[in-house]
Structure 1
């Protein structure tokens, strides 16, 4: 059963990060994260526990992001960086700077992908979810998850090569 205090403490970072990667807006991600938990609390009786709580919360969050995008009819692209990824401490200052630049460059490339590719890559490659979990969260079949992940990765590689060469 969904417990607001316990599940918020346990999952709010995951939900915030998921929404942030999809919206690329820290303030909006915070608002939609809060709204996700409000909706989950209000709809807790409908949670049949056919999936785990985090998957259910991500599905609610995904729906809120989709609704927000439909309402605004735009996707804004800004640079972002995965803040929870630890950097190796054995790096020299020059290597550390280069690593941070590489991470920034990668996430800028992801931000330029169409939304479906970005959503698939965020869930499969960054959040490391299974194809089944990703399909459940996005409301897609598993083939669509595989196709969008593969196409997104190919597009990302093409963009990254082009920007690197250009």
Structure 2
């Protein structure tokens, strides 16, 4: 697969993953670009699963960024509200945007590993095995982490959450 196809196919999902991990749009864009730059410069001849490989590179860059900046031990749990321009938009979009904002804020309150499992399993709908491959954890650890993260999200968001 050539790089342009790879980029087009995986850019959006990679950006979404990083955006959920860092909760800052500009930083997510920068780290996504760094992810694909690193992949472009690397030797990908022996890569069997590009989706897993891209996620591992993105994950490492996110963790490296926070380690280098020493903001907190691994990932930030505090985030300043994003500054956005006020523009008139339809009511439905506002409701969706508010729900999305609440989800970002709730995700930031989870432990880093819980946040990552929720992103992979619930938001991106990856299988347990795909999540294991990316995170390097056992299926049992993924399942247990997902269960505890869903309970934590339920408490943070104050509602019923489907754990399937």
* Interval containing the TM-score (normalised by the shorter chain): 0.7 to 0.9
Q: What SS is found at the alignment partner of 1:44? A: coil
**Cα distance in structure 2, aligned partners of 1:38 and 1:99:** 32
1:8 aligns with 2:11: no
Per the alignment, do residues 7 and 99 of structure 1 end up closer, same or farther by CA in structure 2, a change over 3 Å counting?
closer
Equivalent position of 2:29 in the other structure: 30
What SS does the aligned partner of 2:158 have? helix
CA distance 1:66–1:47, shift in 2 (3 Å): farther
Provide the rounded CA distance (Å) in 1 between the counterparts of 2:156 and 2:20. 18
Task: Pick one of 116, 120, 133 that aligns with 1:119.
Answer: 116
Aligned to 1:144: 141
Deviation at 1:104, TM superposition (A): 3.0
1:44 aligns with 2:21: no
Alignment partner, residue 103 of structure 2: 106
Measured in 1, the distance between the counterparts of 2:68 and 2:99 equals: 34
- Partners of 2:138 and 2:65 in 1: CA distance: 23
TM-score in terms of structure 2 length: 0.77
**Gap change, CA 1:97 and 1:19, over 3 Å in 2:** closer
Distance verdict in 2 for CA 1:4–1:150, change over 3 Å: same
Q: How many residues align?
A: 147
Are 1:158 and 2:133 matched, yes or no?
A: no
Matched position secondary structure for 2:125:
coil
Match of 2:85 in 1: none
Unpaired runs of 5+ residues, structure 1, are 81-91
Map of 1:59 onto structure 2: 56
Unaligned runs of 5+ in 2: 83-89, 160-164
Cα gap change, 1:36 to 1:101, in 2 (>3 Å) = closer
Query: How much has 1:99 moved relative to structure 2?
Result: 5.1
The answer to whether structure 1 residue 72 and structure 2 residue 69 are counterparts is yes
1:46: how far off?
A: 5.3
Change (3 A) 1:31 1:47: farther
> What is aligned with 1:17?
16
